[in-house]
Amino acid sequence: MFVVVGMSNASRIMGPQAPGGVKKATYESGIFPETPVGYFSVRFYRVAMLFMIFDVAIMAIYPWATSLSAMRARGFYDGLVFFGILAVAFVYVWRKGGFQWH
């Protein structure tokens, strides 16, 4: 415990200290943070949400595919109904311009 506390404080005590400049700015993956932020663009969230929704929906297809042999034709057609509902949602989002950035 002494070693841990000592090591973690050693750099703070012994290291060179030069505050100021860009050091105090928020780190944002190499992008210069724009200040002040008046509003957040909703575009990113929309795309992320649509990706999530269809991604999760596609996830449901994996167990369906692996257990097709057990479920026979009935299970196959039930899965197609699911695809159909998904396709309607896809067409709706597409025609509404949900996939366009601007």
The residues in 61-100 that bind another protein, with binding defined as CB under 8 A, are: 85, 88-89, 91-92, 95-96
Minimum Å distance from CB 85 to another protein? 7
Q: Is 84 helix (H, G, I), strand (E, B) or coil?
A: helix
Minimum Å distance from CB 102 to another protein? 19
Minimum Å distance from CB 89 to another protein? 8
Q: Is 26 exposed, middle or buried (0-12, 13-18, 19+ CB in 10 A)?
A: exposed
* Ramachandran area for residue 31 (φ above 0: left; ψ -120 to 50: alpha; else beta): beta
102 part of the interface to another protein, by CB under 8 A: no
Between CA 22 and CA 2 the distance in angstroms is 34
Using CB under 8 A, list all residues that contact another protein.
85, 88-89, 91-92, 95-96
